[in-house]
Amino acid sequence: MNLTVLLWGIPQAMRMVAKLYPQYAARLKERNLIAQFRLRDKPEGRWIQLDDGKVRTGKGLHQKPDLTIHFKNRAIAENFLTPPFDLLERIDAAKNFKIGLDGPDELAVWFMQTLTQLETVTWKAGTDMGNGVMRYTNGTNSGPIFVYVKDGKILRTTPIDFDDQDAPSWSIDARGKTFKPTRRTTIATHGACLKSMVYSKNRILQPMKRVDFDPDGERNIQNRGKSKFVPISWDEATDIVVKEIKRAKAVGPGAVCVANGSHHQWGNLGHYLAAFNRFWNLVGVTKLMHTPDSWEGWFWGAMHHWGNSLRLGCPEFYGTVEDCLKEAEMIVFWSSDPDATYGFDGTERREWARQLGIKMVHIDPYLNHTAAHLGGKWISPKPGTDAAMAQALCHVWITEGLYDKKFVAERTVGFDEWKAYILGEADGIAKTPEWQQQETGVPARDVRALAREWGTKKTYIGAGGWGVGLGGAGRSPMGVQWARMITILGAMQGYGRPGSNFGNLQFGAPLDFNFYFPGYGEGSFSGEMVASANTANNYQRMPHILTMSSVRQTIPRMWFPEAITQGKAMGYLTDVASMQGQFFPFGYPSPGHVRVEMLYKYGSSSLGSQVESSRWIKAYQHESLKFVVNQSVWWEGETPFADVILPACTVFERWDIGEWYNVGAGFVHHMYSMNNHRVIALQHKVIEPLGESKSDYDIFLSIAEKLGLGAVYSEGGTSELDWCKRVFDSSDMSKRLSWREFLKKGYYVVPAEAEAARAPTANRWFYEGRKKDTPEPYPLPSDYKQDYGSGLQTPSGKFEFVASNLKRVDDPDRPPLNQYMPVYEDSKREPELAEFPLQLLSPHSRYPFHLMGDDEGSSLRDIREHRVLHEDGHYYLVARINRQDAEARGIRDDDLIRLWNNRASVVCAAQVTDRLRPGVVSASTASAEYRPAGEPGKSTDLGGCINMLNTSKPIAKKTHGIRPNTTLIQIEKWTGVDTWQPAEVA
């Protein structure tokens, strides 16, 4: 289109839209300015003046424009401005300086957003339900929901019941029955409680500054976590932050450090992998490398037997729902409680298995939620010792010939050495059921009975909550040994054989794995190319400007406190691309970089989520950490350990978009197969941000504008709603329905795959010795040893009973042959632990999501299995304790009890139970609150930060991984008087 016409059209459109849409007329009144479009090579252009909402315009160049948008030449300008816009062309023009901006950054962003709103203001969202009620959609960390809104206030939220227009569901025929999932989404309590979280008394609603923090004078670093805060304006808050960023950057590369939780509110845009990463890549910061903390044993251990590095050492799951229902005779749940942590679509499928009479066995020191619900045999090994029980299963299989000899002979290596070890030929100790009984406390007869049942019936191993990974046993000091054993058990039974595989029906629903919608792990508009899965699809699908931090310093998150207090922290990479990536050491300080002076903490509470977390308090109060910002939605335990607090809003107060449980290629591929339906939701902005809170994106944008980065950060004034549209356009949804339809209805159900086109069953290709045919691009092509697609990622290309890759790292905790080594905390080996006789399990809670939902104002707090309201008006976190252990200490239900060791002391409310093995205590790492009885970090916590009790030692010597479960503690009734002190550090 001709440039003269295009430029003439812009002010005409502004006038017309302002006439039709009052909100646009109001927008035009926000600023008075003169903006001008011009060519760089000729004195041609047009100016637009906004004056109290009036639009004036003139052809040619203005003498004193506030803002100039300049184009290299006419052709580029015409290409850039002619609708429909070609994003690739536009981005090419922007990043290669074919267009440019002169003028204040904030004004430029505002003006370009105003131009974009010419279209977006005409969009309509939500469904009118009558009586002034609008129904919108949103996403939670347990699934998409409807949100009913009246008079600018959230009325209610519900899971989604599908309608007749939504795509039909799949069905599976198994043993004469037809199973079809209920047409709805399911949610967990942390997804159901969000209205109470939005209107919580605990929301942070204005920017604040610590009363005794003076950026130009005395900072009183030692008072972090103790002093009160005073409200300040956004302008003052961002001024301080910008000044401190500049001050720290002047010190040297890496002085600014940013820290985020592992999760976020649902949605691709607001996620830390998007808005947060994009901003900090532009600033240049030291980042924290997370441990593979839900996967530990799988990542550091299991991977070396079979590869699967891009699944963090876990197996594939395609087709397993159908295969399990059709073929399996037994499911062994091992450290597996899917009903606790992963929503409830899989619960319906396990109900089908029960109807089919598939036997269930549950191995867990706690009769967990799934086990209690499904029924079946409960086996409760002493925490940490599961690997001994697994080795005894191997012993029975070997001595009684109950394993898949053909598979072992053709698809594996190292079995003879393994067999010799199990039979005791190597070390003189046969790993018999009687041998394991001394370790695990599980009767030898039960292990024999289980081994024979397993060896003669087609069995699925449901290991961990996913059935194909995770699990508390893998996060114990013995986690590496346990996860390695799971792979070995699978190999001895020929995994991939019909009915013999990995899974607990939680993953592997027969969905369409080719319909493209980006997972949050792809980073959305982050532009991050390395620390996200952006490059897998998103970068080609949704053109956007890449971002890259010039600072290369990374701190292992587990030892961030040591980095601050001791100036040194070394770890090993959570690198999933290959089996060797995890052998690379990295650390702090990095060459050429400087020590961290400033921390920008983004949501969550490390005091509840990180092991031995009182270390974080020491870091926060350390003199070297000169400035701390905390950007959060809610006031949580960690929030007051800051100098400036910035209030973020919830996902209901901003725009976002996301598919439930789609993490994305390159992170955890096709994770949405956990669901019965693929559901993509537009996450409507249903109310205005409460108080002075803002979306994370807008907070970063406002800081970026003061750094002159606003136009770059927002890619020329792109708003969150515009980004939603760009994500929509990048996905296959744009081929199936219009943006306006999606915006109105708010969700889309991806049609299930036709039966004949369903993904093949996981591992069947390997069992049958064929090339890989499951729809995941793993391993990387370079990791095949022979023909592309043939064999496993291991050095031999086969399953390795003796993991040869581990010969390449000298780690005494991970010998190539998976010997049984009791390394859990044990007073027999460590006499100084003699006064702590109880083993603590610290699982994820089933009620909050990690600690999201445990806000002090949340409706979740009334759940008696989560917290108990006491006479002092405080909700105490529940600790489950075996009845015999409770009786020995005079403890009854709901009594306040103190859990302590040398690291910490935490008060909980007792839940006395027979569902725990005697000697074991179970309390979830679910506290968003920290309530020290005295000095922070040096007194008893009444809030329930269980993780303070756990060790910060690594799961194996040459790893960066946690090992919380099985920590030794003592328990007594809480007297109300705190006399606890941390043990002197040796």
Partner 1 sequence: MAKKWNMIVDVARCDNCRVCFIAVKDEHNGNDFPGYAAAQPAQGHKWLDIQRKERGTYPMVDAHFMPTMCNHCDDAPCMKVARDGAVRKRDDGIVIIDPVKSKGQKQIVDACPYGTISWNEEQQIPQHWIFDAHLLDTGWTKTRAEQCCPTDVYRSVKVEDEEMQRIAAEEGLEVHRPELGTRPRVYYKNLHLITHCFVGGTVVTDIAGIEECAAGVEVVLSKDGREISRTSTDTFGEFKIDKLVPNSGDYHLEVSGAAGRFSGDFELGADSRYLGVIKLGAA
Q: Which is nearer to partner 1, 684 or 960 (CB)?
A: 684
Residues 647-686 that bind partner 1 (CB under 8 A): none
Q: Is residue 372 at the binding interface for partner 1, with CB under 8 A as the rule?
A: yes
Beta strand segments in 559-615, E: 569-572, 585-588, 598-602
DSSP 655-695: -EEEETT--BTTTBTTGGGGSSSEEEEEE---SPPSTT-B-
905: number of Cβ within 10 Å: 26
Q: Which is nearer to partner 1, 219 or 867 (CB)?
A: 867
- 318 catalytic, yes or no? no
CB of residue 267 to partner 1, shortest distance in Å: 20
- 293 catalytic, yes or no? yes
Task: Tell me the number of residues near partner 1 by CB under 8 A.
Answer: 63
User: Residues 453, 692, 753, 826: which binds partner 1 (CB under 8 A)?
Assistant: 453
User: Residues 117, 500, 604, 882: which binds partner 1 (CB under 8 A)?
Assistant: 882
User: Residues 2, 4, 884, 981: which binds partner 1 (CB under 8 A)?
Assistant: 884
Q: Is residue 192 at the binding interface for partner 1, with CB under 8 A as the rule?
A: yes
User: Residues 19, 29, 153, 228: which binds partner 1 (CB under 8 A)?
Assistant: 153
Q: Which residues contact 507 (CB under 8 A, 6 or more apart)?
A: 317, 320, 321, 346, 466, 467, 468, 671, 673, 674
Q: Is residue 169 at the binding interface for partner 1, with CB under 8 A as the rule?
A: no
- 520 catalytic, yes or no? yes
Q: Which is nearer to partner 1, 95 or 377 (CB)?
A: 377
d(CA 872, CA 770): 65
The helix (run of H) or strand (run of E) holding residue 81 is helix 74-81
Q: Are strands 153-159 and 172-174 parallel, antiparallel or unpaired?
A: unpaired
The helix (run of H) or strand (run of E) holding residue 177 is strand 177-179
Residues 431-450 that bind partner 1 (CB under 8 A): 443-446, 448-450
Q: Which is nearer to partner 1, 443 or 982 (CB)?
A: 443
d(CA 523, CA 389): 41
- Of 43-51, 208-216, 369-377, 924-932: span binding partner 1 (CB under 8 A): 369-377
Nearest to 212 by CA among 222, 202, 204: 222
Residue 645, strand partner residues: 208, 630
Take residue 382 and report the two structure tokens written for it. 């002493």
CB of residue 859 to partner 1, shortest distance in Å: 4
CB of residue 916 to partner 1, shortest distance in Å: 7
User: Residues 68, 79, 186, 268: which binds partner 1 (CB under 8 A)?
Assistant: 186
CB of residue 453 to partner 1, shortest distance in Å: 5
C-alpha distances in Å from residue 529, one per residue of 52, 141, 778, 843: 43, 25, 19, 33
Q: Which is nearer to partner 1, 305 or 448 (CB)?
A: 448
Q: Which is nearer to partner 1, 71 or 507 (CB)?
A: 507
Report the amino acid identity of residue 48.
Answer: I
Q: Which is nearer to partner 1, 27 or 349 (CB)?
A: 349
The number of angstroms, rounded, from the C-alpha of 798 to the middle of its chain's C-alpha atoms is: 32
Beta strand segments in 72-167, E: 99-102, 127-130, 133-140, 143-150, 153-159
Contact code string over 822-861 relative to partner 1, x by CB under 8 A: ------------------------xx---------x-xxx
d(CA 692, CA 743): 27
C-alpha triplet 569, 572, 577: angle, nearest 5° = 145
User: Residues 34, 187, 303, 851: which binds partner 1 (CB under 8 A)?
Assistant: 187
d(CA 426, CA 417): 9
CB of residue 863 to partner 1, shortest distance in Å: 5
Q: Is residue 369 at the binding interface for partner 1, with CB under 8 A as the rule?
A: yes
CB of residue 456 to partner 1, shortest distance in Å: 11
Q: Where are the alpha helices (DSSP H) in 381-493?
A: 386-400, 405-411, 415-423, 433-440, 444-456, 479-492
Label residues 541-575 b or e (16+ Cβ within 10 Å = b).
bbbbeebebebebbbbbbbbbbbbbeeebebbbbb
Nearest to 645 by CA among 658, 629, 656, 633: 629
Residue with tokens 């508009």: 525
Take residue 834 and report the two structure tokens written for it. 């003699």
Three-state DSSP class for 269?
coil
CB of residue 400 to partner 1, shortest distance in Å: 13
Q: Which is nearer to partner 1, 347 or 950 (CB)?
A: 347
Q: Which residues contact 418 (CB under 8 A, 6 or more apart)?
A: 394, 488, 801, 802, 817
d(CA 220, CA 401): 70
CB of residue 860 to partner 1, shortest distance in Å: 7
Active-site option among 403, 520, 539, 661: 520
CB of residue 221 to partner 1, shortest distance in Å: 35
Long-range CB pairs of 16-20 (<8 Å, 24+ gap) are: 17/117, 17/118, 17/121, 17/122, 18/53, 18/55
User: Residues 114, 137, 141, 157: which binds partner 1 (CB under 8 A)?
Assistant: 157
Q: Which is nearer to partner 1, 130 or 217 (CB)?
A: 130
User: Residues 78, 86, 348, 811: which binds partner 1 (CB under 8 A)?
Assistant: 348
Q: Which is nearer to partner 1, 193 or 310 (CB)?
A: 193
Q: Which residues contact 844 (CB under 8 A, 6 or more apart)?
A: 340, 341, 465, 850, 924, 925, 926
Residues 380-419 that bind partner 1 (CB under 8 A): 380
Q: Are strands 359-363 and 153-159 parallel, antiparallel or unpaired?
A: unpaired
Q: Which is nearer to partner 1, 247 or 457 (CB)?
A: 457
Q: Which is nearer to partner 1, 413 or 633 (CB)?
A: 633
Take residue 135 and report the two structure tokens written for it. 């129904």
Active-site option among 105, 293, 643, 722: 293
CB of residue 901 to partner 1, shortest distance in Å: 24
The number of angstroms, rounded, from the C-alpha of 150 to the middle of its chain's C-alpha atoms is: 32
Nearest to 972 by CA among 786, 837, 793, 805: 837
Contact code string over 620-639 relative to partner 1, x by CB under 8 A: --------------------
Residues 194-253 that bind partner 1 (CB under 8 A): 195-196, 199, 201
- Of 345-353, 590-598, 612-620, 699-707: span binding partner 1 (CB under 8 A): 345-353
300 DSSP 8-state letter? I
Q: Are strands 644-647 and 208-210 parallel, antiparallel or unpaired?
A: antiparallel
Active-site option among 70, 263, 369, 593: 263
Q: For the packed helices 696-706 and 234-251, what is the interaxial angle rounded to 10 degrees?
A: 60
CB of residue 699 to partner 1, shortest distance in Å: 27
CB of residue 691 to partner 1, shortest distance in Å: 16
CB of residue 650 to partner 1, shortest distance in Å: 15
Residues 107-136 that bind partner 1 (CB under 8 A): 131
Q: Which is nearer to partner 1, 224 or 349 (CB)?
A: 349
User: Residues 883, 938, 953, 958: which binds partner 1 (CB under 8 A)?
Assistant: 883
User: Residues 80, 229, 299, 378: which binds partner 1 (CB under 8 A)?
Assistant: 378
Q: Is residue 159 at the binding interface for partner 1, with CB under 8 A as the rule?
A: yes
Q: Is residue 279 at the binding interface for partner 1, with CB under 8 A as the rule?
A: no
Active site residues: 263, 293, 520
What are the residues binding partner 1 (CB under 8 A)?
131, 153, 155-159, 161, 182, 186-189, 192-193, 195-196, 199, 201, 339, 343-345, 347-348, 351, 359, 367, 369, 372-373, 375, 377-378, 380, 443-446, 448-450, 453, 846-847, 857, 859-865, 869, 882-884, 913-918
